Amino acid sequence: MLKLFLAEVKRSWIQFIRYPAEAIGGIFIISALFYGLFLGATYVAGPSIKLGDRLDSIIVGYMLWTLVTFVLFDIAGTLQNEAQTGTLEQLFISPFGAPRVFLTRAIANLMIQFILITTILLIIMSLTGRWLSFPPTLILPLIAVILGAYGLSFAIGSLALLLKRIQQLLGIFQFALLFLLTVPTETWTGSSKVLGLLLPMTTGAGLLRDVMARQQPLNLPQLGLAWLNGGIYFGLGLTLFRFAERETKRRGRLGGY
């Protein structure tokens, strides 16, 4: 698996940098967005307003939003791109099996995106002299959120396999994602709290808000539930993808996007 992961990282990176103008354009857009976030609040409220830790949570929140969106649509996007480039069938005749190939590729793509954004953020921070604080405990609920996001990504990929053209649906998924990442389930009580635990990614997202915006220590039982939630959605997504793969092969519609 490791050798496949490294090969995917290399392939994705080469594809990204092969045409420098395109790569620079992509980096410029990400840099402009984050730089705008740094400057935006100052422009709106004036330099006398002290944002304090609020800016940290805005930027980290936006970074997470970008990464989770990236994960969510990665598998469906890969399926459609590979069908267009005429390499989709080659991925499906790998002895690793399609789910493993797509997961490895999604993780490799996320890693490149993560390194890119982190590097850009570090450069912006050094330029502006404004250093954000990233509590290291952030990584734990983040894993739960990302795990759930991969589960949903496999589910969306399954839809892409079965229905082929799902561009219109992707817009709806973005709204659903916005809801899942912002709904404050950590403040819900009673039966709503149970529902909050069942929704994908929300428990982990709530923990991220606790750690970043409210500067609260990490709630370990809640973290366990967030991981369980992420694990279950990941398993469900994979199962759905395996079913969709078999169903698509039964229908004989693997290519043809």
Partner 1 sequence: MQVLEVQHLQKTYRSSRKHLTTAVRDVSFAIAQQEVLAFLGPNGAGKTTTIKMIAGLILPDRGEVKINGLNPHREAQALRSLGAVLEGNRNLYWRLTPIENLEYFGVLRGLSQKVARQRGRDLLERFELSHKRRAPVQTLSRGMQQKLAIAVALIHEPQLLLLDEPTLGLDVEATQTVKRLIREIASEGRAILLTTHQLDIAEELSDRVAIINQGAIVAEESTEELIRRFSGSAYVVELEQEIDRDRVSKIQNLGAIVNEKTILIRETEILYEVLHILQPLPLIRVEKEQANLTEVFLQLIQNQSESPC
Given 52, 86, 217, 221, the residue binding partner 1 (CB under 8 A): 86
Count of Cβ atoms closer than 10 Å to residue 142 Cβ: 20
From the CB of 97, what's the least distance to partner 1, in Å? 6
Query: How far is it, in rounded angstroms, from Cα 155 to Cα 183?
Result: 21
Q: Does the footprint of partner 1 cover residue 90 (CB under 8 A)?
A: yes
- Residue 216 beta carbon to partner 1: minimum distance, rounded to whole angstroms: 44
Instruction: Return the sign of the alpha-carbon dihedral for residues 228, 231, 237, 242.
Output: negative
- Of residues 228-247, which lie at the interface with partner 1 (CB under 8 A)? 246
For residue 94, the minimal CB distance to partner 1 (Å) is 5
Among 25, 36, 40, 97, binds partner 1 (CB under 8 A): 97
- In sequence order, the 6+-apart residues with CB closer than 8 A to the CB of 141 are 204, 205, 207, 208, 211, 218, 223, 226
- List Cα–Cα distances, 247 to 165, 244, 252, 254, in angstroms: 16, 5, 8, 10
Q: Candidates 87, 128, 182, 192: give the one binding partner 1 (CB under 8 A).
A: 87
CB of 1 to partner 1, least distance (A): 11
**In the structure, how many helices (H) and strands (E) does the chain have?**
10, 0
List contacts with partner 1 (CB under 8 A).
3-4, 6-7, 10-11, 14-15, 18-19, 85-97, 101, 246, 249-252, 254-255
